Amino acid sequence: MSLKRPVAPDPYALLPEVDRFDVTSSDVQDGETLAQAHVHEAGDTSPQLSWSGFPEATRSFVVTCFDPDAPTPSGFWHWVAVDLPVSTTSLPTGAGGSDATLPGEAFHVRNDYGTRAFGGAAPPPGDHPHRYYFVVHAVDVEKLGVDGDASPAVVAFTLAFHTLARAIITPKYASRPGE
């Protein structure tokens, strides 16, 4: 099977425009290659993220990681952490390990690996580099109104009606042929 196909569009460019704010990381950089710790076969460790400059009306945050370059029509959800308190302005490395590592009453929904945690990069060997959109969504409600059984698609749909602003950092990763 050939994986030759066009590069997927920026998924957030396809949504209604919202304000932007800043996200930084000591672990990942925009456009740079993910470290092995953030790869599925080498650790599944979520990166450190810090954010600032979000709208004053923000009441909570949702953090996601999405790969639009997966060879599926729906991309691949690697991480969805919901209902982070508005007082949270950073997550340490590894916060995506389980609900117990998240602040307050925040929780994970199942990623496309089927786990309620961060699942690292795992593009098919020989495929073009995949982009990993780590996004902090500033939300206008304290509770998004979904539970741990919601799919990432339902969370994304619900976010369409509650996102005030987004902060995005997009590292990349490609497996080498034969891996």
Is it the case that residue 145 has pLDDT exceeding 80?
A: yes
Contact, 84 vs 104, CB < 8 A?
Answer: yes
Q: Quick: pLDDT tens for 65-87.
A: 999 999 999 999 999 999 999 99
Residue 12 lies in a domain: no
Tokens for 90? 């950073």
Q: What is the pLDDT of residue 114?
A: 97
pLDDT band at residue 177 under the 50/70/90 scheme: low
Contacts of 175 (CB under 8 A, 6+ apart): 122, 123, 124, 125, 126, 127
Say how far apart CA 57 and CA 80 lie, in whole Å. Answer: 22
Q: What is the pLDDT of residue 68?
A: 98
CATH classification of the domain holding 112: 3.90.280.10
Is it the case that residue 144 has pLDDT exceeding 70?
A: yes
Residue 8 lies in a domain: no
- Mean pLDDT estimate for the chain: 95
Q: Quick: pLDDT tens for 16-39.
A: 999 999 999 999 999 999 999 999
Residue 53's domain spans which residues?
Answer: 19-173
This prediction has a pTM of 0.96
Provide the domain count of the chain: 1
Residue 80 lies in a domain: yes
